[in-house]
Amino acid sequence: MIAYLDNSATTRPSQPVIEAMTQAMREGFYNPSSLYAPAMAAEKALNRCRAAIQSALKVDQGRVIFTSGGTEANNLALFGGVGAMHGPQHVMVSAVEHPSVLAAAQALEKEGHRLTLLRVDRAGQLDWEQLESVLTRDPPALVSVMQVNNETGAVSDIPRLSAMLRALAPQALLHVDGVQAFLRLPIDGNLVDMYTLSGHKIMGPKGIGALWVRRGVRLLPRQIGGGQEGEYRSGTENTPGIAGLLAAIQTMDPQAPAAMMAMKLRLAQGLLQRVPGLVINGPDPKLGAPHILNASFPGVRGEVMLHALEGEGVYVSTGSACSSKKRKVSGVLLSMGIPAGVAEGALRFSLAADNDCAQIDYACEKAGALYQALKGFRRK
C-alpha cells in the first residue's frame, strides 16, 4: 500500500483539475489580452476564477491578482505593500512564518525597515501581550501572519488579531498567508487587507496562486512589463493553471475538512498507542487545522524515521518542503519553545481529501513497528 501523507508539501491534482487544464491547453489556449472573441472567452474564464476566489473569501470587492504560487503572492504582499509606502516602515510578522514571508521581512529589514518578530507559545499561538505592547508603543505599517502553520497546523485567531489591529493600529495593513487554510478553514476576507492562496495545496496544479487585495490598498508591482493583472503582475496569465485552480475550488467537497479532521484524530490516536512517549508538537489535535499533525518520535531522528517509512510506502516530511533539504532542526519548532532534542525527532503528517482510513491505519502500523526497531539505535 502507498500512503501519501505529505499533502502540505503538495497534493495530487484531482481528475476534474486535470481535465480542465487539458481543455484549456487544447481549446482555450488564446492569450486573454488579445481582442478577438476566443481570447475574450479566455479572459472571461480568468474572471470566473477570480469570482470563485472572492466567493470563498466572502468578499464582494477588491482585486484577485494571479501569481505563480504562494511564495510570489506573499512576496508581493510584503514587498509591494511596504514599497508603496513612503520612508522606513515598521513590519511585524510571527516568528513561525513560512520562509516566503519571514525571509521577505528580513530582506526588508536589511533595506532599512524595522522588523518585529512576534513570539508564539508551545501551541503555536501568538503572544497577545507582546502584540498589544508593540501595537501601543510602536504601531506597525504592515502585519503578516499565516492562518494555518504549515508545520504544526496551529490556527491563528484572525478575528482577534484583526480587531486588535483595528483598535490599536488602524492604519496597519493585515496580510494573511492562507496557503494551508484556503477551503479547509473558513475565513472572512473582510477582516484582512490581503490574503494569499496556492493551487497545488488544494488538489490543483503547481505554478498558480493568487493574492486577494482589498479595495484601496496600494501595492508597488514586483514584476513589470506588459501590464497584465491590473499592472500589478505583468506576464501572460497561466490560463491552464487558472482553469485548474477554478476546478479545484469548484469541486472541493464542503465535507472534506470534517473528514480530514476525523482521519487526523485517528492518526494521532494510532501513533500514541504504538509509540511510547510520542510528543504531539503544536496544538491539541482537536484544536489544530484538520489536515496537519506534527509528532516527535523520542530517541529517533525525524530524517531516519522518514526514510524508514518511505521504504514501506508511507510518505511524510520533517517540516516545510521549502527548507527540508537544508538538514537542520525546524526553526518553527524551536521558536515555539520545543527542545532541540524533541524537535530533531519530528515528522509532519498532512492529509488531503483523497486520503482514507486504510492509509491512516497502515501508516500507524508501520510507524509503530519501525519505531520499535529503530529506538535502540543511537547516533554516535
142-146 sheet: strands from edge to edge: 63-67, 209-213, 194-198, 173-177, 142-146, 90-94, 114-118
Q: Are 194 and 214 in contact (CB under 8 A)?
A: yes
Position 323 scores a pLDDT of 52
- Rounded to a whole number, what is the distance in angstroms from the first to the last CA of the chain? 34
Please state, for a pLDDT cut of 70, what percent of the chain lies above it. 97
Q: Please give the model's pTM, rounded to 2 decimal places.
A: 0.96
Q: At residue 210, what are phi and psi to the nearest 5 degrees? A: -155, 150
Query: Which residues carry out catalysis?
Result: 322
The per-residue DSSP string of 268-335 comes to HHHHHHHSTT-EEESS-TTTS-TTEEEEE-TTS-HHHHHHHHHTTTEE-BSS-TTTGGG----HHHHH
Q: How many CB atoms lie within 10 A of CB 191?
A: 19
CA 138 to chain centre: 28
Strand, coil or helix: 348: strand
Could you report the per-residue pLDDT of 115-173, keeping only the tens digit for each?
Answer: 999 999 999 999 999 999 999 999 999 999 999 999 999 999 999 999 999 999 999 99
CA distance 250 to 224: 31
Per-residue pLDDT tens for 114-128?
999 999 999 999 999
pLDDT at 327 over 60: no
Indicate the residue type of 72: E
Contacts of residue 359, defined as CB under 8 A and 6 or more positions apart, other chains included, come to 1, 2, 3, 4, 5
Distance CA 243, CA 24 (A): 7
pLDDT at 320 over 90: no
Residue 376 pLDDT level (bands cut at 50, 70, 90): confident
For the segment 338-361, the average pLDDT, to the nearest whole number, is: 97
- How much is the average pLDDT of 40-46? 94
